[in-house]
Chain A
Amino acid sequence: MARYEYRPFDYQKPPELSGTPARRRPVIIAGAGPVGLAAAIDLALHGVACVVLDDNNIVSRGSRAICWSKRTLEIFDRLGVGERMVAKGVTWKVGRLYHGEREVYSFDLLPEEGHKNPAFINLQQYYVEQYLVERAREFPQFIELRFKNKVVDVKQTNDNVRAEVETPDGRYTLQADYLLACDGAHSPIRSMLGLTFRSRVFEEQFLITDIEMKADFPSERWFWFDPPFHNGQSALLHKQPDDIYRIDLQLPADADPETEKRLENVIPRIQAVVGERPFEIDWTSLYRFQCARIDRFVHGRVIFAGDSAHVVSPFGARGGNGGIQDVDNLVWKLAAVLQGQAPAGLIETYNEERVHGADENILNSSRATNFMTPKSGFEHMLRNEVLTMAKDFPFARRLVNSGRLSLPCSLAGFSLQLDDDPDMQGPMVPGAACLDAPVFDEGGKAGWLLNRLGGEFKLIRFGAPLPGCGVSQIVIAGLPIDGFETLADDTDLVAQRYGGRDGAAYLIRPDQHVAARFAQPTPEKIAQALARARGLEAA
Chain B
Amino acid sequence: MSALTTDWNLGTSGDDVYAALVEAHEGLSDEDCRRLDVRLILMLANHIGDVRVICDALKRAREGL
Binding site for B on A (CB under 8 A): 364, 367, 370-371, 376-379, 382, 386, 388-389, 392-395, 398-399, 401, 404
Contacts and interface: CB of A to CB of B under 8 A. Distances in A.
Contacts of A401: 15, 18
Nearest to B9: A395
B64 interface: yes
A371 B30 CA distance: 20
Given A392-B64, A399-B14, A401-B15, A379 B22 contact: yes
B25 A379 contact: yes
Interface of B: 5-10, 14-15, 17-19, 21-22, 25-26, 28, 30, 33, 60, 64
Interface of A is mostly: helix
A377 B15 CA distance: 19
Contact of A393 (B6, B15, B17, B21): B6
Contacts of A378: 22, 25, 28, 33
Contacts of B5: 395
Nearest to B25: A378
Closest 3 CB pairs of A and B: A378-B25, A393-B6, A395-B8
Contacts of B7: 394-395
19 contacts: A364-B15, A367-B18, A367-B19, A370-B22, A376-B26, A378-B25, A378-B28, A378-B33, A382-B21, A389-B64, A392-B6, A392-B60, A392-B64, A395-B5, A395-B10, A398-B14, A399-B17, A399-B18, A404-B15
A395 B57 CA distance: 13
Contacts of A404: 15
Contacts of B6: 392-395
A370 B28 CA distance: 18
A367 B15 contact: yes
A392 B64 CA distance: 9
Contacts of A370: 19, 22
B25 A376 contact: yes
Contacts of B18: 367, 371, 382, 386, 399, 401
B8 A377 contact: no
A386 B22 CA distance: 13
Contacts of A398: 8, 10, 14
